[in-house]
Chain A
Amino acid sequence: MTARAFTGENGDEDVTIKILFCGVCHSDLHVAKNEWGFTNYPVVPGHEMVGTVMKVGSDVKKFKVGERVGVGVIVGSCKKCESCQQDLENYCPQTIFTYNSHYTDGTKTYGGYSDMIVVDERYVLRFPDNLPSEGGAPLLCAGITVYSPMKYYGMTEPGKHLGVAGLGGLGHVAVKMGKAFGLKVTVISSSPKKETEAIERLGADSFLVTSDPAKMKAALGTMDYIIDTVSAVHPLLPLLSLLKLNGKLVTVGLPDKPLELPIFPLVLGRKLVGGSDIGGMKETQEMLDFCAKHGITADVEVIRMDYINTAMERLAKSDVRYRFVIDVASSLSQ
């Protein structure tokens, strides 16, 4: 499928991209199954795509034909509001999402499980040379989703202690970035089975199972910050208790119901709970360059397009280390 099929045109500020790879984000699954209640079928998901530039519009300055580029979660915004002017297109009230959204001309947006896409250059990322496409693609959503709050909430001071709750697509990238920032990293998980993996392969310093009361008690008040990637409804009190004074708990997962927030721990420890939502274009580019510099890629399982439904089933059971990436160019056929 092509995006903007009705126009088929590459506007003056647009680039046309042949899609090579596309990561499978958990949001793709939520939207495909209408779990958030706003899916507009038919939907072509995919917002972690890497490809090559086939054509550039006359006003395009950033890219040339043949360059390797990425497209993430957004393909448009108003460009005029305070957020857009501050390079925070992700907080623009008129953000246009890569799929299941609408352009201003009313046409639907279609995502990266497709052969090509036409995007305004402002929302296209340059892919650093030494960043592989397969391992780099998931950074376009998972990567920026954890990088942005780590910067905004000041989780980058070497020597400080970061907790990462949930070890999936978002969590495993947070561990890698945390280590690159020089932090001590503890993975917080409901199950012990990922412990060896977390420590030996991902480089986490320690692993905490939330159902182990002795270990949780020993870890009370030891963390400066926690990135909470868990999307299921879960209790916040145990996580808040792990924070030191002035500690910050940042949620980047999307539970579909409100969570219970105990107020006493916030007050008595001057702690906070904050949110964060992907990142702006400038920051996404900065994140890709940071990952290239530190050799950070997602751990991926490359699949063919026709495996996608099985992949979605496995994803629903968290049976993937840690992102599926579709080899679109080799396997998507008419």
Chain B
Amino acid sequence: MAMSSENEHPVKAFGWAARDSSGHLSPFKFSRRATQEKDVTFKVLYCGICHSDLHNVKNEWGITSYPVIPGHEIVGVVTEVGAKVTKFKVGDKVGVGCMVGSCRSCANCKDNLENYCPKMILTYGTKYYDGTITHGGYSDIMVLDEHFGIKIPDNLPLDGSAPILCAGITVYSPLKYYGLDKAGMHLGVVGLGGLGHMAVKFAKAMGLKVTVISTSPNKKKEAMEHLGANEFLVSRNTEEMQFAMDTMDGIIDTVSAVHSLLPLIGLLKNNGKLVMVGAPEKPLELPIMPLLLGRKIVGGSNIGGIKETQEMIDFAAKHNIVADIEVIPMDYVNTAMERLSKADVKYRFVIDIANSLKPI
């Protein structure tokens, strides 16, 4: 007989879950495992709402197994540590991003690329080593293998740090890997949402010139005055786009909707790089001539390994970079999801779990 979510583990836990593809979230009783020797148990303080959470609760990628408790931008405080834990003590702050496990023995894991491990275990919706399904950060407590815990630097506010654990690393990792991190380079950022606004902040901190490319002209003032972007292009304005052709060393494309790559490839200089971090679920059209004629590339990137995530948050701390957030109580989450689907947020909702998640 299958164990229910409430009984499969010894420790009672409480969260909000989606039970079907309507994506509607509601209170949910479940359980967490006992603290194993390399685990830390922590009380969740804040959890960011990533657009992936929305895709998942509505089964937009066709892989969701209900009930699902989303949330992979989690910050908490450690309440218990296992006997062999060395990284954290009780009372420490801890962050968790998109992964809670991997095989730890393959070439990718040994190279600190747990995010590319074929057996990577996601923070929610995936089978853990013990066969149970992982549940994410829209919950009161979590138990975590210490290897996947991120130390939150002291000078970063906890609520603004939470989204960095997914949105931040998702753009930081490709900036480094594709060499788009050198002062003086010109970076384009397509889409000004959770990922996009973090890309602007990181790139500016690295000394790059940044141009935001967006479908909405009303984000221009915000982008330039508040986020520090140097220029702003409205993608539907063909004249503006034409004028900017052949000016960018790289582009980080955060857009998940299907969209045209041709104008973006045109913005790149020779040897330029278009990096996809959004994941449209349908293929996009790739014109080959422009790639050839300018020796350009289109590449992808997926979050980052644990070592790099730590490096990224330390870099954020050094430059006082946090996400721009709207803090909400737990029971606002369904409204937040609706607003998120219309991109009506600057630029991440963060759930104040500790103060608003009340067990039923």
Contact = CB atoms under 8 A, between A and B. Distances in A.
Interface of A: 83, 88, 91, 152, 236-237, 245, 251-255, 258-277
B277 A267 contact: yes
B270 A258 contact: no
B34 interface: no
Given A91-B270, A245-B108, A277-B292, A261 B298 contact: yes
Contacts of B277: 267
- DSSP majority for the B interface? mixed
Given A245-B108, A259-B288, A274 B283 contact: no
B286 interface: yes
A115 to B, nearest CB: 32
A264 B292 contact: no
A258 B300 contact: no
Contacts of A152: 295
A261 B293 CA distance: 18
Given A274-B291, A275-B292, A264 B279 contact: yes
B359 interface: no
Contacts of B288: 251, 253-255, 258-259, 275
Interface in B241-296: 261-262, 270, 273, 276-281, 283-296
Contacts of A261: 261, 283-286, 298
B295 A275 contact: yes
Contacts of A253: 288
Given A258-B285, A261-B284, A268 B302 contact: yes
Contacts of B302: 267-268, 270
B116 A269 contact: yes
Given A91-B270, A272-B298, A274-B297, A262 B283 contact: yes
Contacts of A272: 273, 297-300
Contacts of A265: 300
B211 interface: no
B33 to A, nearest CB: 28
22 contacts: A91-B270, A91-B293, A91-B295, A245-B113, A254-B288, A255-B288, A260-B286, A261-B261, A261-B283, A261-B284, A261-B298, A263-B280, A264-B279, A270-B116, A272-B297, A272-B298, A272-B299, A273-B291, A273-B299, A275-B288, A275-B296, A275-B297
Contacts of A266: 276, 298-300
A261 B283 CA distance: 5
In this complex, which of A252, A258, A269 has the most chain B Cβ atoms within 10 angstroms of its Cβ? A258
A155 to B, nearest CB: 14
Given A253-B288, A261-B298, A263-B280, 11 more contacts: A91-B295, A251-B291, A251-B292, A258-B285, A263-B300, A264-B279, A266-B276, A267-B302, A270-B301, A275-B296, A276-B292
Contacts of B289: 254
Interface string B107-127: 010000100100000000000
Contacts of A276: 292, 295
B126 to A, nearest CB: 14
A266 B289 CA distance: 20
Contacts of A275: 288, 290-297
Contacts of A263: 276, 278-280, 283-284, 300
B298 A273 contact: yes
Contact of A271 (B286, B294, B295, B300): B300
A276 B291 CA distance: 7
Given A245-B108, A245-B116, A267-B276, A260 B295 contact: no
Nearest to B177: A270
A165 to B, nearest CB: 13
Given A245-B116, A255-B288, A273 B283 contact: no
A264 B290 CA distance: 22
Contacts of A260: 283-286
A269 B177 CA distance: 13
A270 B281 CA distance: 16
Given A261-B283, A277-B293, A267 B298 contact: no
Nearest to B253: A263
A212 B189 CA distance: 41
B270 A83 contact: yes
Nearest to B297: A274
Contacts of B290: 275
A274 B300 contact: no
B55 to A, nearest CB: 12
Nearest to A240: B300
Nearest to A95: B293
Given A263-B300, A268-B300, A268-B302, A274 B295 contact: yes
Contacts of A277: 292-293, 295
Interface string B288-319: 11111111111111100000000000000000
B286 A236 contact: yes
A23 B297 CA distance: 30
In this complex, which of B113, B287, B300 has the most chain A Cβ atoms within 10 angstroms of its Cβ? B300
Nearest to B281: A264
A267 B293 contact: no
A276 B294 CA distance: 7
A149 B108 CA distance: 26
B301 A267 contact: yes
Given A245-B113, A260-B283, A263-B283, A269 B294 contact: no
B307 to A, nearest CB: 16
Contacts of A251: 288, 291-292
Contacts of B284: 260-261, 263
Contacts of B113: 245
Contacts of A88: 270
B300 A269 contact: yes
In this complex, which of A236, A260, A261, A265 has the most chain B Cβ atoms within 10 angstroms of its Cβ? A261
A271 B113 CA distance: 14
B292 A252 contact: yes
Contacts of A245: 108, 113, 116
